[in-house]
Structure 1
């Protein structure tokens, strides 16, 4: 599999450059860009897996989520530059749904097929549950509720204030988890870090991450320009492109890494990737994009549509209920996947 992704990277990147210079078909280029980003994401996943083995599950999961979300952040910034606010908000929704339902669902399902019962740190699960409830149900719902009684300028000001609070609380959460309370809430099923040897050294892994991120930035800028033609050709709305297509392509690194970790029964890292990535999207990436949009002609308030809010809130509640016992199995994974499919069908027909 690694050889296939290597082939895709070393053919996809040159084809992306050549196709953009020669103005190939937008549909063809959309496919090439998506495949290239997914292949590059696999390199990012392998690099962060090496770093996870070196650094431990918490820091490794955070690094994986950060570099995985860097892909989506880059795509979203270029989409903001083009004024595609609906696509950006939809891609944020898709990331939340994709991480909580698709990534966690596939991890629980595939890991559960190999192991009857898998356990992870229940203390981390409960800590993350509270943050998920706050970030999605409080911080995302409040702007929608209050904006109906406000002018656009006041709604944007509210979004800026909430964004600042979210970023500060996210940084406080990292400080709590990695500094003041690191190791305080140990669990008997915590992943041992000495079982495997990293594929790459720390320096090589960081170099590959940097190069892959730079390549993703170039390909992502071109990918954004294909959205309009692709949407018209296939009859896809901006909402569907953002929620499903951009979210899956942008989070390919986390998808692969979390599933691999679950298959190896390293559930702490798998859960940290899925849930930690969601928290980073909701509490850091989304508010950061609101602040970045202030530098572009079209500003982005943190106001989602009703279907987006209900879908995200439902995903959070379902994930909290399933994960709060610190154990999982294949049926719980299938339940999360079923919820993702139902929501995907709904967004397709909107």
Structure 2
């Protein structure tokens, strides 16, 4: 039923997106069409990565899901940078961190917890991710903000480039650690359970083809979506910050949202957590630094300097997530706690 709905949305949304952009329809209507189309495309990306996850196991599957899910946001952000919307991009990065840690993980824990009294996942992965989250968000994002207070604009940009380079190197080292040198060292009994007797929806070749085509389509729709931001913000009275933190983040991460919840409902918590937390780490340690380097090719470069509300919100989300996930055990109430935190922050950013 759900797959049929997304097929209908895609079959209607993609042609309407193309026609609407060519005929210059009303921006608000186009904004809705583009968002629905991207969410429908993200569902196909989620299904394709789920097929690959069954073949590859939870770690590779979670990484693939996060990577292709974040590809949507990366594409939207690049076009936003090209349009000079640096504030929207920084806000969308904030929104991704908050969305993945509080909304995606929260919904996964809540939905899974309604079906299962108690759900467990790798405590070793949880602790490993905790350290990286502390480093990526609290150290690497706070330091540029603090130091930039007494720096001219050019030096702030140089600091951002240096921090970005360190983040990318450490992220690649973390992948090498997890997937090569220490693969299986911290394996938990039953971690791959449920994959051996489950058949993927699509073969490996078909899944990769779907991912490729969906990514190309998302790139086209995203470029047009960016051009509607200003009109929509003016019409509804939304701030640049709210559009980035809430709207772009939810649309851009729709693939992870759907996949993580589905996996949690099937009690595959290792991959659900890997999607939510792994996606956050990829945003903070890879996507954000890459955008800093990409921005150097545009008129307005993007320093890795967030506003105080953005920093406090991200740091709070990281600390709360670590407190809840560090025991490798979760339930519906812990999920509800994360969702409550997301709702409070959403209200704050809306009123800011």
TM class by shorter-chain length? over 0.9
The one-character-per-residue Cα deviations of 1:109-152 (angstroms, maximum 9, x if unpaired) are 00000000000000000000000000000000000000001000
Counterparts of 1:62-77 in structure 2 under 5 Å?
62-77=63-78
**In the alignment, is residue 107 of structure 1 matched against residue 108 of structure 2?**
yes
What's 1:82 paired with? 83
What's 1:283 paired with? 285
What's 2:42 paired with? 41
What's 2:199 paired with? 197
Q: Provide the C-alpha distance between the structure 2 equivalents of 1:56 and 1:93, rounded to a whole number of angstroms.
A: 29
SS of 2:292's partner is helix
**By how many angstroms is 1:5 displaced?**
0.3
Q: Structure 2: 5+ residue runs without aligned partners?
A: none
The one-character-per-residue Cα deviations of 1:217-267 (angstroms, maximum 9, x if unpaired) are 000000000000000000000000000000000000000000000000000
What's 1:12 paired with? 13
TM-score, normalisation: structure 2: 0.99
Cα RMSD of the aligned pairs, angstroms, is: 0.5
**In the alignment, is residue 172 of structure 1 matched against residue 140 of structure 2?**
no
The one-character-per-residue Cα deviations of 1:18-73 (angstroms, maximum 9, x if unpaired) are 00111111000000000000000000000000000000000000000000000000
**By how many angstroms is 1:320 displaced?**
0.2
**By how many angstroms is 1:188 displaced?**
2.5
Q: Structure 1: 5+ residue runs without aligned partners?
A: none
Q: Provide the C-alpha distance between the structure 1 equivalents of 2:345 and 2:28, rounded to a whole number of angstroms.
A: 26
SS of 1:188's partner is coil
Q: How many residues align?
A: 350
Q: Provide the C-alpha distance between the structure 2 equivalents of 1:189 and 1:325, rounded to a whole number of angstroms.
A: 17
What's 2:150 paired with? 149
- The answer as to whether partners of 1:120 and 1:189 remain within 8 angstroms in 2 is no
Off by >6 Å, runs of 4+ in structure 1: none
Q: Report the more deviating stretch, 3-12 or 250-259.
A: 3-12
**By how many angstroms is 1:191 displaced?**
3.1
Q: Provide the C-alpha distance between the structure 2 equivalents of 1:285 and 1:270, rounded to a whole number of angstroms.
A: 20
Counterparts of 1:54-69 in structure 2 under 5 Å?
54-69=55-70
What's 1:332 paired with? 334
What's 1:252 paired with? 254
**By how many angstroms is 1:187 displaced?**
1.1
TM-score, normalisation: structure 1: 1.00
What's 2:347 paired with? 345
Q: Provide the C-alpha distance between the structure 1 equivalents of 2:192 and 2:119, rounded to a whole number of angstroms.
A: 12
